[in-house]
Amino acid sequence: MIELDQVYRVFRVGDARVHALEAIVLTIQRGEYLAIQGPSGSGKSTLLNVIGLLDRPSSGHYRLDGVDTTALDEDAQAGIRQRKIGFVFQAFHLIPRMTAAQNVELPLILAGEQPTARRSRVADSLAALGLDDRADHRPDQLSGGQRQRVAIARAMVTGPEIILADEPTGNLDRASGRDVLTALEALNQKGITLLVVTHDSELAERARRRLQMVDGRIAADSSAAARAG
Amino acid sequence: MQAEDVARLSAASLNAHRGRTGLILFAMTIAVASVVMLTALGEGARRFVTGEFAALGTHLLFVLPGRTETTGGPPPMLGETPEDLTLSDALALRRSHHVEAVAPIVVGSAPVTYRELEREASILGSTHALFEVRGLTMARGRFLVHGDPRRASPTCVLGEKVANELLRGRSPLGAWIRIGGYRCRVVGVLAAKGVSLGMDIADTVIVPVASAQSIFNTEGLFRVIVQARNRASIDDARTAILDILSERHGRADVTVLTQDAVLNTFDRILHALTLTVAGIAAVSLAVAGILIMNVMLVAVSQRTAEVGLLKALGARNRDVAAVFMAEAGLLALVGAALGLAVAGAVTWMLAQAVPQLPAGIPLWSAAAAVLIALGTGLTFGLLPARRAARLDPVRALAGR
């Protein structure tokens, strides 16, 4: 369970203080499927980075499964990222000199897993995304949609609780974008919490819960609206 | 992260940036090779000198007239001038059963004439004992005969160079030559033996010690070479020599040097020289280290996004640092291995070209060079690795 309580994230740009996040109060239950929408600079990515422990709130508290993460040091946060969180980026962020399988294996290597155990998990993960026959291809030998699916395989290989996807379809055409989203939704159906940042309303419509962000604030939350209505 | 995986990740990334990797390896190779080669040369010089001493013969003692030790007392008064070391003194040394052989030595330089040809040569007066003591070998004929060393006999033995230049291809055996006003018959020619402590045996004429004394009109000996019975009796022989000569001269006025003492001194000096030269060469290792640092810093900034990704995937700061440190360490190790190979090859070629200089890579220098290279690589890898580890993941992922 993700609980954000009065979270602020303030950047200093020259003399000005920019509120990327302002007084965010947000609770996300386990297994939810949430789309975060909003114009550029509205703070959607910052929100995702804070939830993914890549960024720290300037003030406020963030509890993940009851643990106040704001009090943890960098190593402890890295440990949580490793066990509980998978990232999918707009730019894929695959390492170009490594094959698909090696890219997927990377989180397991960082977790210090044994090579034999790694191999079967990598194979399972690639198979789940229909990439069995692409295991030995390097990223430059794959299409955009395939690359993003490799990235999803990498995000899920450690068996995380949460997948954070920042504009996962932003660099893809509509058809492969839909494939990628379907793959992510399949993970959500297995109980993984899914947060997708997008400015594509059509894709956002597919999420059960939608947040609208404006100027670092949550302008609309479909679940709150449903409750209120 | 497991060490094996760190090494594999690092090796893969080095392999992916071949130009950069090659550049660093090149610098590291040159640095390690120069350290090792210079030490090999120094070591070669040391072995050369040590070899020269060994060529003098085994377990030798040198008896010199006069005391060279500093006594710390007032300067000697008149009449304290040491007595000459005479032939009788030398022969008296044979009394000690610790002494195997005694070779009295008189040296000087005189014109040597054969018919109309004349050249300056070193004249060495000694006895048959010198042959064994110095481990000489004959090219032709025989050495000075046994017999009473007090009697001059008109025979002489030529060094190879003197024989070639004076007799110009004529058979030297039986030829009569003149040394100053002294005539002698050539009975043998020495085989080439190389330079021995500055005295080129090939450029020497050896005559009986009594003849040399009359040529140079001297009673005193230049020195006496004593061969001890064996290595263990060197100290006993030294005591015996001092006792006998003190008794004869009424006071201790000679200096006895053992071969070991002289050898050890040279050995120490040359070892120190080798270390100095290696130290100078080690500066190039530092330069290679700085190059590693610079190139690694560039690598970190080129791979910012990758560092961000590793962090997002759960790499701790120390995992990121470990990957970059491993790269620096691998570069240093491979560079050191290549450097050793280059040094080995060059040293081998040198040994083929200049066989007199027994250059060889001492084990300690090879080990030290590898360790220092590794140390340098890791030290200079530290700063780039820390910089990578401290990157902010959000900014790094954005490639900033």
Chain A residue set in contact with B, beta carbons under 8 Å:
49, 52, 54-55, 74-75, 78-79, 81-83, 85, 87, 89, 93, 95, 97-98, 106-107, 109-112, 154, 158
Q: What average pLDDT does this structure show over A52-71? A: 93
Q: Is A41 a residue whose pLDDT tops 70?
A: yes
The pLDDT value recorded for residue B67 is 65
Q: List, for residues A178-207, the tens digit of each pLDDT value.
A: 999 999 999 999 999 999 998 888 888 999
Number of C-beta neighbours around residue A31 at 10 A = 16
- Kind plus residue range of the DSSP H or E element containing A134: none
What the block records as the tokens of B286 is 């530092």
Q: For residue B308, list chain A residues with Cβ-Cβ distance below 8 A.
A: 93
Q: Judge: A93–B5 Cβ closer than 8 Å, yes or no.
A: no
Q: Which residues pair with A59 in a beta bridge?
A: A8
Distances (CA, A) of B277 to A164, B18, B268, B337: 60, 33, 14, 21
Report the pLDDT averaged over residues B103-125: 90
Alpha helices (H) along A96-158:
100-110, 115-128, 144-156
d(CA B69, CA B64): 12
Distance from CA of A96 to the nearest CA of B (A): 10
Q: Do B394 and A54 touch (CB under 8 A)?
A: yes
State phi, psi for A221 to the nearest 5 degrees. Answer: -135, 115
Which residues lie closer than 8 Å to B145 by C-beta, 6 or more apart? Answer: B128, B153, B155
Give mean pLDDT, residues A122-142: 94
> B5–A109: do the CB atoms touch at under 8 Å?
yes
Contacting residues for A89 by C-beta, under 8 A, at least 6 apart: A151, A166, A167, A168, B397
Contacts of B318 in chain A (CB under 8 A): 75
Contact in structure between A153 and A104 (CB atoms under 8 Å): yes
pLDDT tens-digit readout, A46-57: 999 999 999 999
What is the per-residue pLDDT across A208-222, written as a single tens digit (0 to 9) for each? 999 999 999 999 998
Among candidate residues B319, B73, B205, the one with its CA nearest the CA of residue A75: B319
CA–CA distances in Å: residue A75 to residues A71, A156, B12, B319: 12, 21, 26, 10
Percentage of chain A lying above the pLDDT 90 cut = 82
Where are any strands of DSSP class E within chain B?
60-65, 99-114, 117-126, 138-141, 155-158, 176-179, 182-190, 195-196, 199-200, 204-208, 223-228, 254-258
CA dist A24 and B333 (Å) reads: 52
B41-97 tens-digit pLDDT: 888 888 887 777 766 656 888 888 876 554 555 555 544 566 788 888 898 998 888
Confidence at residue A163, expressed as pLDDT on a 0 to 100 scale: 96
Q: Which residue of B has its CA nearest to A97?
A: B16
Mean pLDDT calculated for residue range A102-125? 93
Q: Are A110 and B306 an interchain contact pair (Cβ–Cβ within 8 Å)?
A: no
Candidates B305, B308, B311; nearest CB to A78: B311
Which amino acid makes up residue B345? A
> Stretch B136-156: mean pLDDT, rounded?
86
Q: For residue A55, which residues of chain B lie inside 8 Å, CB to CB? A: 393-394
pLDDT tens digits, one per residue of B322-344: 999 999 999 899 999 999 999 99
* A87/B313 Cβ within 8 A: yes
pTM of the complete model: 0.69
At B266 the pLDDT is 81
Average pLDDT taken over every residue of chain A = 92
* Smallest Cα distance from A81 to chain B, Å: 5
Q: Is the pLDDT score of B126 beyond 50?
A: yes
Tokens of A170: 């932003």
Residue in B with minimal Cα distance to A93: B309
Encoded tokens for A179: 């494939």
Residue A215 tokens read as: 């100027």
With an 8 Å Cβ cutoff, is B20 touching chain A? no
Residues of A in contact with B310 (CB under 8 A): 106, 110
| B5 contacts on A by Cβ (under 8 Å) | 109
**Nearest-CA neighbor of B9 among B392, B389, B296, B330?**
B330
Chain A contact set for B314 (CB, 8 A): 78-79, 81-83, 85, 107, 110-111, 158
Checking if the pLDDT of A34 tops 90, the result is yes
**The one-letter amino acid at B210:** A
| Contact present, B397 and B305 (Cβ < 8 Å) | yes
CA distance B4 to chain A (A): 10
Answer whether A109 sits within 8 Å of B394, measured CB to CB: no
Q: Report yes or no: B5 at the A interface, CB cutoff 8 Å.
A: yes
Closest CA to A137 of A163, A99, A102: A99
Other C-beta atoms within 10 Å of B94: how many? 14
Return d(Cα A199, Cα A207) in angstroms, integer. Answer: 13
Which residues of chain B neighbour A49 with C-beta distances below 8 Å? 394
Write phi, then psi, for A122 (nearest 5 degrees).
-65, -45
Q: Which two three-digit tokens encode residue B269?
A: 């000096």
Q: How many CA atoms lie within 13 A of B90 on its CB side?
A: 33
| pLDDT at A229 (0 to 100) | 46
Q: What is the mean pLDDT of residues A59-80?
A: 93
